[in-house]
Amino acid sequence: MRAEYEALIKRINYHSHRYYVLDNPEITDAEYDALMRELLEIESQNPSWVTADSPSQKIGGTVLSGFDTVEHTVKMQSLQDAFSNDELREFDSRVTSALGRKAHYCVEHKIDGLSVSLEYRNSLFVRGSTRGDGSVGEDVTENLKTVMSIPLKLNVDVDYLEVRGEVFISKKNFEKLNTQRELDGEPTFANPRNAAAGSLRQLDSSVAAKRGLDIFVFNIQQIEGVEINSHIEGLRFLRDAGFKVILNDKVFENIDDAIGEVEKIGSERTSLPFDIDGAVIKVNDLSEREILGSTAKTPRWAIAFKYPAEKKETKIREITVQVGRTGVLTPNAEFDTVSLAGTFVSRATLHNLDFIRERDIKLGDTVVVYKAGDIIPEVLEVVKDKRDGSETEFFMPKTCPACGAPVTRDEGEAAYRCTGADCPAQLERTITHFVSRDAMDIEGMGPSIVAQLLERGHIKNSSDIYYLSKETISSMDKLGEKSADNLLAAIEKSKSNDLSRLIYALGIRYIGIGGAKAICKKLKNIDAFFTASADELTEIDDVGAIMAQSVVSFFAQPHVKDMIERMRAAGVNMEYIEEEMQGNNLEGKTIVLTGTLPTLGRKEASELIEKNGGKVSSSVSKKTSFVLAGEEAGSKLDKAKALGIPVVDEEEFLKML
């Protein structure tokens, strides 16, 4: 029986490797599932037999209270970016000058995911960690065990091996994941990279196991007992060991040939089954890498080429107007569907009438569209040469398309706003905002559930959420008893949120997360909001006259008092909970965030700043202490440079803490 069990493990691992790594299965999914059921049955009867390399370890189920830190013996550095062929040739000149001879190069895809380290002892997987700041990451071993393309036991004998790879979610799995989240009423992920990063940091490994994570391994960090002399040799070794690699066996003898390969990868970019954000050129000879060395942040032997945003021409067929939760009317361009950065796009926001007039956009225009940061569709410009005279001017409506109330535009504002107090579009988006992640964080109550509850008359404002019954929830489309139980648990959990979350959730005009926290820190409880004057509020740092008046006006409305009292009666917390400080290294400093950071989300970075005594600001001014900048940083970075304000990256920021 034991021999049969061990043979079964080898058989399952073999078929798993063929399916998830080689993409060349020999058996059907049903046959594979039958083998797994047989394995689990044997292990349930003989739990002492379960080994570290058993396929059952990929199912997940371990729940952690938090992640331990891991100090990287070999620093996980970032790469220098290049945006033109001239910059790639400058890189080649630096390499040639340092070596005194021409180097040979490898070129590979730059996977758009989350960088991780995998460690093996005696060929068994023992630890996996995130890159973190490059020096210290987080131990996510249990979640990485669930990635089917990561071998738990290597096909080769090696005393110790540390490799670096990029965890990602394929385009196909990302689409399936978001479709399921929509059906479950959960917020969808913005892009595959965010989905992969969020999945890898789940404290419950069974959640990570369901997300369809994948990995490409691209570098040997450390190895004992085996001699490797070149990058290509290392990739071949990794492939034979059982890892999933993108092995391009070509070695390029000059930079022009390497650039040709970069351009080839770029031309194939949209047809790939996974997202890439560039291509990487690396020196092949490892002894030459030793000579070239590294700076504090980047290796001198590699460079990443970032492709320009893909642009497509299309025709605007309609300009529709959407009503937001604060009553703002936003025009949106509806155009002929085009494929951009791997997804199909048929609409883009036009922001406001000023934006439309500045770009001279008309209904029927042929326009150039692209994805800002490879994520958000934008109209870049009008192709005026293709106008035929049939194009028409767009005007904002005089009445709200959702409720018919008059539309106004305040002096000095770009926005047009609905004046209807009972506008259904505002109510739906107000409640959707109330339950969102940064507000009351009621997981499972997505836009589709909110829309159903409103349509069927089960809720009329946000307080009604706390009086929903299991019977009401389970009667919603695509929701059953289990989903109802989960949603009720999420509603109950939200009652203990800090007051600042509630204030932000109420959707008070001009009051963001930072403003809500600042005011709550001063007023301490909800009752003080009903008696606070505008003068009292403007004494709080970062609270201006317009914000203060907005708060006073909001709490002066009779229905707000009734709504708050219903929430209080339901057990919703109405007190400010003082955050536990981690340190005071940022005390007195005002920090502005811009761009996408390598590992930290914007919310996570903001919380770190505040827990270390700092203050987050949304705009750059002379009072700004420094700007924390990531990739795709925009005008805030330009303004900081113009004012001479220090700019730091994530690595420097984490060192400050």
- Tell me if residue 367 falls in helix, strand or coil: strand
Cβ proximity of 534 and 554 under 8 Å: no
Cβ proximity of 152 and 125 under 8 Å: yes
Longest dimension (CA), the chain: 82
Calpha distance 289→293 (Å, rounded)? 6
Other Cβ atoms less than 10 A from the Cβ of 441: the count is 15
Confirm whether 641 is a catalytic residue. no
CA geometry: angle 653, 655, 656, nearest 5 deg: 65
Calpha distance 370→360 (Å, rounded)? 18
- Of 58, 110, 145, 282, the catalytic one is 110
In sign, the C-alpha dihedral spanning 434, 514, 550, 570 is positive
In sign, the C-alpha dihedral spanning 210, 214, 220, 223 is positive
Beta strands in 402-464 (DSSP E): 407-408, 416-418
Cβ proximity of 361 and 367 under 8 Å: yes
**Nearest by Cα to 45 from 15, 4, 10:** 4
Enclosing H/E stretch for 421 = none
Beta strands in 324-425 (DSSP E): 328-340, 343-349, 366-372, 376-382, 407-408, 416-418
Other Cβ atoms less than 10 A from the Cβ of 295: the count is 9
Calpha distance 329→44 (Å, rounded)? 59
Beta pairing partners, 369 = 312, 379
DSSP result, 590-655? EEEEESB-SS--HHHHHHHHHHTT-EEESS--TT--EEEE-BT--HHHHHHHHHT--EE-HHHHHH
Beta pairing partners, 110 = 278
Calpha distance 640→620 (Å, rounded)? 6
Calpha distance 108→170 (Å, rounded)? 17
Calpha distance 159→225 (Å, rounded)? 6
Calpha distance 106→302 (Å, rounded)? 9
Other Cβ atoms less than 10 A from the Cβ of 195: the count is 23
**Nearest by Cα to 555 from 513, 519, 579:** 519
- Report residue 453: phi and psi, to 5°: -60, -40
Cα→Cα distances 331→314, 319, 418, Å:
17, 6, 13
Calpha distance 359→204 (Å, rounded)? 48
Cβ proximity of 115 and 289 under 8 Å: no
Calpha distance 498→139 (Å, rounded)? 29
**Residues taking part in catalysis:** 110
